[in-house]
Structure 1
Amino acid sequence: MEDIYIVMLVALFALAVTDLVVGVSNDAINFLSSAIGSRAFPMKTILIVASVGVGVGAIFSSGIMEVARKGIFMPGQFYFEEIMIIFMAVMITDVLLLDFFNSLGLPTSTTVSIVFELLGAAVSVAVIKIYNGSGNYGEIFSYINTSKATEIIMGILMAVVIAFLIGAIVQYLSRLIFSFQFEKKIKYAGAIFGGVSLTAILYFILLKGLKSVTFISQDFLSYLDNNTLVILGAGLVIFTLISQLLMSLFKTHILKFIILIGTFSLALAFAGNDLVNFIGVPIAAWQSFELWQAAYAASGTLPSQFLMSDLQGEVSTPAFLLLGAGGVMVITLWFSRKARNVVETGVNLSRQGEVTERFDPNFLSRAIVRYSVLLGNAIGAITPKAVSQKIDEKFQKPGAFTRDSEETPAFDLVRASVNLVVASILISIGTSLKLPLSTTYVTFMVAMGTSLADRAWDRESAVYRVAGVVNVVGGWFVTALVAFSAAAIFAAIIYFGGIIAITILIILAIFSIARSFVLHARKEKEKKRKKPFRRNDISTINDIVVESSKNISSIVCGVNQMFSKTVKNLGYYDKSKLKKNKKSIKKLESEIDELKRNVFYFIKSIEETSLDSNRFYILILDYLQDIVQSIGYITRNSYNHVNNNHKNLKFNQIRDLKRVDDKMQALFDEIEDIFAHRDFARIDVVLAGKQALLSDVGELIEKQIKRIRTTESSPRNSELYFGLLLETRDLITSTMNLLELYREFNIAVEATMFSTGLPQKEQD
């Protein structure tokens, strides 16, 4: 009997390690995004500082471990075997849920997930107990710590609003003081700004955080409580002097110093507040096992008879477990690729300049932006013109944010400092009040508030950024709902299925995470293969040739594969593969959409002597779009035909399409090779076969007309077959038009090189 629970404990701690990995991958946005977005330091420096903060914060976290033991439910109402079921369901759910959000690259709250998982699993087991017992479901409130659970949930929801408003207000005031040209004013006001920031961090991180450390003497803590104002006053003076000394004597950029300390403090606050989310449950399970084991040794109490009332008391967390958990968090911080994706989402939503927007507008984001513009216009109408002009001067952005480069910061040092200091303070307040405050909610909403106040969301980007925020916040509500429901279901399954159900669920979790890892690695590989457009990549004619050749080769390769797969899968009447083809066509369409979005920047980046090339590049995109539209029609119509259960094409029709496919494949292979190696002399050879291809397709159209007149044929089949042939003809025409355009442009480029006397190799 004891062995079963030992196995469950081993599984819980294994799940805890996995949970630490997936949890830190998601929560890395909390303390990395500001430092990374501002480009204040190299990535290695940021990770070192964050790692130290996480390690120290892990030690500070022991004071809030009771959230998993008694913060959500009443342990005295559950027997030991029921408590273990609750804990097992919670950990399995948490691992699956956080990994899912990591794969999407969306930040979610590990605090909300653990709170609602504990709530869902406890409610599920309580309902089963009531059903098997009295049947009075009103008793459910005696199983749940409703007051504490309500306090936690309300605290989390309030934190969203408070973090956004405080972040916006502090950033707006900071920008009015420093403006975007802050280098001059920082010499005079930087010491005070640094003194206030560092004193605030000292108070909320050190003075409050030390209270959670078990090896600090009570006399020392009492001294801190009794002399708080004196310590703060002295800290303000000392840190102001230190800030001035750093700027004057050591020529240190005080904002960079604040970002460094802020990153450390936020990482510390994260570990101190969120470590309970990852290891609190297995530690509570271990402590429960020890309590039952002692009772069993003393009186032979069975797991189904031992109430867990003793979990109500204070139980300290072993230091080695905290240090071990901190070590896992640090390793994850350095090596997790998914963490970088989640950070990228937060950075791009708060970016000062333009970026390829990830989120599509929705009705809510459009409405919010529309009414915000109306409100802004109303406020502007009643504000004196002189005041408006003075404020606008403070928000004049430097040219650094208009450059498109990997080294371009997403926002400046002032905003990064405000993000870190405000978020650290708010999270530390929650920690000191023993509330498992959502660090994700606080840091994300502070960053969004500062972005709004800093006018990073202009008329060009606001609807996309607001849509992103709506999607992320909506995901938080989904987190709560899914966490509660999944944990409740898993708890019921484990309750009735026992060790077999636990084994199956753990295998499911392992399979899900392994599959997620493989898919994410594949997506990262694809992302690296497709180099994103950057404005400073193109400025000359040769750059245009290189960029357009790469685009054509990529699109043609995708169209080639899609055409062959569609013909093959249509022949086999394979609905599932045709559906996969239909989904894959969106990748080609997104490539074209991204190229079209960058046309504005492309035209601005071209040298004046190359302005005649703009028309060429735009027409190239137009022909590529026609090509993708044709293959999109072919793919979607083929899927719709099969999905509607219409009769399959006849053998002769499939055979004729396969012959066309063979010729199209040879054509596209040749074109892909031409542009991959930029061997444009071979274009004439391909163009010579244009008429033969069009004639072959025309003959098949005539052949189908004769079939309809002479033999019985399905109207739906004829509709599909004619559609495929006509779109294939359009596909060939668009492809050949693109080649003709490129041939003419290449002739013009060679003539230009000849007139300037530059050899081909020098141009390349």
Structure 2
Amino acid sequence: METYYLIILGVLFILAFSDLIVGVSNDAVNFLNAAVGSKAGSFKLLVGIAGLGILIGCTFSSGMMEVARKGIFHPEHYLFSDLMLLFLAVMIADVILLDTFNTFGLPTSTTVSVVFELLGAAVAIALIKSFTGAGIEDIGAYINSGKALAIISGILLSVVVAFSTGAIVQYFVRMAHSFDPNRWKRIAPIWGGLCAAAISYFLVVKGAKGSSWMSEETVAFVNDHWAPIVAISAVAWSIILGLLYMLFKANLLRIIVLFGTFSLAMAFAGNDLVNFIGVPLAGYNSYEIWVQSNTDPNMLSMEQLAGKVPTPTLILALAGVVMGLTLWFSKKARTVVKTSVDLGRQYEGYERFNSFAFSRSIVRNFGKLAMWVNDRLPESLKKFIERQFDPRPFNEQQKALGKEAPSFDLVRASSTLVVSSVLIAIGTNLKLPLSTTYVTFMVFMGTSLADGAWGRESAVYRVSGVLSVIGGWFFTAMSAFTIAFLLACILYFGGMVAMFILIAIAIFLVYRSHRIHGKREAERQELEMAEEADVLTRDKILGKISKSVQGTFESIQELLGQTIDALAKDDLKKARAAFKGYQELEKKAFKLKSKATKSLDKIDDDQIEAAHLYILIAEYIDEMTHIVRNIVKPSFEHIDNTHKPLLPQQIQELENAFGQIAKQMNLAQAVFSSQDPEALKTLYKEFSNFVKHLRNFRKAQIKRIKNHEVGTRNSILFFNHLGEFRNLSIYINRMAKVFEDLVMNDGAPMKS
């Protein structure tokens, strides 16, 4: 029996290692989004500063570990055997859940996940015990339900308070600073002093609370005299920063952002480390109690867990090292941070979230409200606000820096960190259930809104993204509870066999999510608009066009081949795969159109013809994807509805038509890549021959109809495919023709 629980303990610590990795990958958004988005330093520098904050903060985390032991359930009502299974269920669920969120780049709260996993597993064990002896009415004695309600209220409170405060503060900060960096210098020491004072206060009351060098009396003194302390600190910081600027011309806002990043990272580690290793440590404490008691595990009550148990500093330090290394190497951490930064960037770009009715309604109504308020402001005030919120200096900086341009400036980054720090510090003092994740994310969104980052071209997508993230927080709570509940039941009745099966499933799911994330990252890098640092020359444009045409033609040929093969074999799985493939092709075509349009301002004035060609080719590719949809989707629906398969001669005719389309695409690609005039002539001839072949295929189908060999649905599908093949051929020839007119006939061939 001892071996069994020793195995469980070992598994708990292995899962703790995994949980540290997936947990910090998600929570990195809390303290990195402002610094990364404003490019306050290189990514390595930012990660190094955050890693140092995490390492120091971890050593202050000992007092928080009791949350996992007694914060959600009452351990005196559970037996040792019950709690070990409960802890195991929680850790398996946590690794799976957080890794899934990381894979899709969605920030969530690790606190919410572990709290509701503990709640779900505790309820499961309590229910099982009630059915096997104790009454159902006694379940309330097992659970600390107030904690769960506090978490839910914390979500709602954070969304409203943090978002509103961030928006209001940033509005007045921007009105004072404007987007012109030259104006910042006048008030940078004063603003920097206020920021540094607020962050310092936050660092004391939140980050260092519970440390060995700070007694309870000191914390109480700081809390009782916070106003004069902050005021004196602000004056002192303003003087220090003013001297730094006068003597060394230091970038004061960059210093503030780096300091704020360190402070938030330190507070995160001090408060959230319990989410990752608190449960395994509680399991370790339980195991120690059981070994010392020499009692049957099914008879040992765990009331000793309710007391204070110190956490070894070495374990805390090792956890800090793992978290720091994860920040440095984790690609998923960058994905989650990127989601947050993209939702708050100052300029337009690729929007990963689609709009939906509710977000459109919000944007529309707030737009009307803004117009109503604006109409009632004095003209002088409107002109002043317009001047202060004029983004042209920032846009000029963006254009000059190219790929190295920040997503937003240091003014917004500093106010984001300050407002987050102040709100979390106030919440800590008032014992409000504010979540670090929720506060930092919603403050960041609020400052983005106030800064005008959500313009009419992007607002609906940004609002959809914010609503999706908020919905994900509630989904985290529900799914964490459900998964842990089910896993606890399975482990309780399945024993060791169930444990190994569940661990194997967890490993498979993490591996699968790693594959999915790698694929999504590759697609993002391929599809997302590249921010060009230099001017686009004619040769670069033609190179981009050739690459886009080649990639599109290859995808179309693959999808059409899959579709015809699916029709020939009446294979629903293959037809569904082709339809999913089309959806990816559609995304690529849309991104290409956006990329072509956005690239126009980077093209030389004397290269208008090349720019014209870029736009036309992007439009033609977009039209061709619609044609592919009109082939792939009806084919999928035909098979999915179990209609009669096409006749062998029909399949042969479609394959013949597809073969000719593929030949035309290859010829067109030769025209684009090498400007081969012979390939162009052959392509035009192939088009004429292809039209004749299609005419013959239609006549053959008419004969089959007259002979009653095929039905109506068969004929509609077949005629549709012939017509769409003809449309594809037309667009292939159009692409070649505009290339001939705009490139091959202008006397300036493309360089090799």
Equivalent position to 1:287, from 285, 291, 299: 285
Partner of 2:7: 7
Partner of 1:684: 681
Partner of 1:114: 114
Partner of 1:426: 423
Q: Retained in 2: the 8 A contact 1:29–1:343?
A: yes
User: By how many angstroms is 1:466 displaced?
Assistant: 0.8
Equivalent position to 1:190, from 188, 205, 212: 188
Partner of 1:140: 139
User: By how many angstroms is 1:632 displaced?
Assistant: 1.3
- C-alpha distance in structure 1 between counterparts of 2:216 and 2:435, whole Å: 29
Q: Retained in 2: the 8 A contact 1:180–1:397?
A: yes
Partner of 1:569: 566
Structure 2 counterpart of 1:139, one-letter code = D
Partner of 1:559: 556
User: By how many angstroms is 1:525 displaced?
Assistant: 3.1
2:502 counterpart of 1:505? yes
User: By how many angstroms is 1:465 displaced?
Assistant: 1.0
Partner of 2:641: 644
Identify if the C-alpha distance between structure 1 residues 686 and 208 changes in structure 2 by more than 3 Å, giving closer, same or farther: closer
2:163 counterpart of 1:172? no
Structure 2 counterpart of 1:370, one-letter code = R
Equivalent position to 2:336, from 334, 342, 345: 342
Equivalent position to 1:747, from 744, 747, 752: 744
Identify if the C-alpha distance between structure 1 residues 628 and 26 changes in structure 2 by more than 3 Å, giving closer, same or farther: same
User: By how many angstroms is 1:432 displaced?
Assistant: 6.4
Q: Retained in 1: the 8 A contact 2:20–2:276?
A: yes
Partner of 1:212: 210
TM-score norm. by structure 1 comes to 0.93
2:387 counterpart of 1:393? yes
SS at match of 2:644: coil
Show structure 2 runs of 5+ residues with no match.
none
2:714 counterpart of 1:720? no
Identify if the C-alpha distance between structure 1 residues 94 and 198 changes in structure 2 by more than 3 Å, giving closer, same or farther: same
Q: Retained in 1: the 8 A contact 2:155–2:434?
A: yes
After superposition, give the CA deviation of every residue in 1:30-84 in whole Å (9 maximum; x if it has no partner): 1111111112211121111111111111112222111111111111111111111
2:462 counterpart of 1:465? yes
User: By how many angstroms is 1:180 displaced?
Assistant: 1.5
After superposition, give the CA deviation of every residue in 1:652-675 in whole Å (9 maximum; x if it has no partner): 222332333333333333434543
Partner of 1:270: 268
When structure 1 is superposed on structure 2, of 309-318 and 193-202 the one drifting more is: 193-202
- C-alpha distance in structure 2 between counterparts of 1:293 and 1:427, whole Å: 41
Partner of 1:157: 156
Q: Retained in 2: the 8 A contact 1:274–1:436?
A: no
SS at match of 2:209: helix
Partner of 1:478: 475
TM-score norm. by structure 2 comes to 0.94
- C-alpha distance in structure 1 between counterparts of 2:543 and 2:266, whole Å: 47
Q: Retained in 2: the 8 A contact 1:269–1:428?
A: no
Partner of 1:38: 38
Structure 2 counterpart of 1:235, one-letter code = S
Matches within 5 A, 1:232-631: 232-296=230-294, 301-401=295-395, 403=398, 405-430=402-427, 437-529=434-526, 532-534=529-531, 539-598=536-595, 600-631=597-628
Q: Retained in 1: the 8 A contact 2:345–2:407?
A: yes
User: By how many angstroms is 1:331 displaced?
Assistant: 1.0
Structure 2 counterpart of 1:279, one-letter code = I
Cα RMSD between the aligned structures? 2.4
Identify if the C-alpha distance between structure 1 residues 225 and 718 changes in structure 2 by more than 3 Å, giving closer, same or farther: closer
- C-alpha distance in structure 2 between counterparts of 1:265 and 1:378, whole Å: 41
SS at match of 2:196: helix
Question: How many residue pairs get matched?
Answer: 749
Identify if the C-alpha distance between structure 1 residues 643 and 225 changes in structure 2 by more than 3 Å, giving closer, same or farther: closer
Q: Retained in 2: the 8 A contact 1:38–1:411?
A: yes
Structure 2 counterpart of 1:157, one-letter code = L
- C-alpha distance in structure 1 between counterparts of 2:699 and 2:24, whole Å: 63
Identify if the C-alpha distance between structure 1 residues 437 and 292 changes in structure 2 by more than 3 Å, giving closer, same or farther: farther
Q: Retained in 2: the 8 A contact 1:58–1:272?
A: yes
- C-alpha distance in structure 2 between counterparts of 1:703 and 1:466, whole Å: 54
SS at match of 1:645: coil
Show structure 1 runs of 5+ residues with no match.
754-759
- C-alpha distance in structure 1 between counterparts of 2:703 and 2:392, whole Å: 69
Identify if the C-alpha distance between structure 1 residues 731 and 156 changes in structure 2 by more than 3 Å, giving closer, same or farther: closer
Partner of 2:26: 26
Matches within 5 A, 1:700-739: 700-710=697-707, 712-739=709-736
Identify if the C-alpha distance between structure 1 residues 673 and 213 changes in structure 2 by more than 3 Å, giving closer, same or farther: farther
User: By how many angstroms is 1:258 displaced?
Assistant: 0.2
Partner of 2:102: 102
2:67 counterpart of 1:70? no
User: By how many angstroms is 1:278 displaced?
Assistant: 0.7
- C-alpha distance in structure 2 between counterparts of 1:627 and 1:159, whole Å: 46
Structure 2 counterpart of 1:442, one-letter code = V
Q: Retained in 1: the 8 A contact 2:420–2:439?
A: yes
Structure 2 counterpart of 1:349, one-letter code = L
